[in-house]
Amino acid sequence: MRLRTLFYAGLLATPFLDGCHCPVVDSGHSGIVFESLGKGTSRTVLGEGMHVMPLWNSVIAYDLRVHEFKESLSVLSNNGLALRVDASVRFRPKADELFELQTQIGQAYAEILIAPVVRSEARKVFGRYSPEEIYSTKREEIERQIFEEVQKALAGKHVIVEAILIRDVELPEAIKVAIADKLAEEQRSQKMRFTLDKERQEAQRKQIEAEGIAKYQNIVRQGLTADFLAYKGIEATERLASSQNAKIVVVGSAKSGLPLIFQPEK
């Protein structure tokens, strides 16, 4: 235990004896080494923890975790109406491209790069839609299109945009009331169309049912000939006559001339 303590104490003291220092890269961060007496910005990326280096070298730290900035945008709809839109953008740097990000843009990449691109692409997309669509029916589609356009614009720029969310859309009060009235009227119209469609379907069902009944009756009527009815009458008479109950059976009609069968009660 004592030896271990002495070892760590010596390790911490050695850099200062040799003209070195021990910068620490915090959790969730990476660092780029800047060699002030050498080649400048190094491609070496440092991970979390303590690093020993000469005193003339320094570490430029980048937070690799997801960041968010909120943006309030002034946009125009497709009919020229001015709208105020509140949006959130979630982003982070690419860990394996920190050298390029540092040498081309720098640590203020969110303000220099991401925010202007989001504003520009958002205005383009919002300009394709009406105030009603922006306020109510097309918000998810607008979010998706802005995200896709920003992804294209930032391709190869060493950053990752993970999401763009529209938090709120502010319209003039008169426009909001007009949109609400229009949506309510559309709901009533849709309900009426549904009712009419249901009634038409029920009328068609009844018509088909009536046609089926009429067709059946027509088929049965064609089969009810005089000979067939007489045959059925004879069958019924035979069954009735063979019954054990007391009966009087009258068979036939004046035209058929069938006999009258009489059986007294026993």
Q: What confidence tens digit (pLDDT) does each residue in 5-64 have?
A: 544 445 554 544 567 999 999 999 999 999 888 788 988 889 999 999 899 899 999 999
Tokens 């800047």 belong to 34
Q: Is the pLDDT of residue 113 over 80?
A: yes
Which residues are 263's β-sheet partners?
A: 247
Dihedral sign computed on CA atoms, order 209, 210, 213, 216: negative
Is 241 within a domain? yes
User: 99 and 26: one domain?
Assistant: no
Dihedral sign computed on CA atoms, order 170, 171, 177, 183: negative
Is 204 within a domain? no
User: 88 and 163: one domain?
Assistant: yes
Spatial CA neighbour of 158 closest among 110, 65, 94, 103? 94
Under 8 Å between Cβ of 256 and 229 = no
What is the per-residue pLDDT for 82? 84
Q: How far apart are CA 238 and CA 251, in angstroms?
A: 10
Q: Is the pLDDT of residue 152 over 70?
A: yes
User: 42 and 136: one domain?
Assistant: no
If pLDDT is split at 50, 70 and 90, which confidence band does 199 have? confident
What is the per-residue pLDDT for 106? 93
If pLDDT is split at 50, 70 and 90, which confidence band does 206 have? confident
pTM above 0.85, yes or no: no
User: 99 and 19: one domain?
Assistant: no
In the structure encoding, which two tokens stand for residue 223, read together? 């089969």
Is 220 within a domain? no
In the chain, how many domains are there?
A: 3
Is 205 within a domain? no
CATH number at residue 76: 3.30.479.30
Is 196 within a domain? no
Residue 264 or 225, more confident? 225
User: 99 and 53: one domain?
Assistant: no
113 exposed, middle or buried (CB, 10 Å; 0-12, 13-18, 19+)? Answer: buried
* Percent of the chain that is helix, strand, coil (3-state, to 5): 50, 25, 25
Q: How far apart are CA 68 and CA 262, in angstroms?
A: 107
What is the span of the domain harbouring residue 170? Answer: 67-176
| Element counts in the chain: helices (H) and strands (E) | 8, 12
User: 77 and 169: one domain?
Assistant: yes
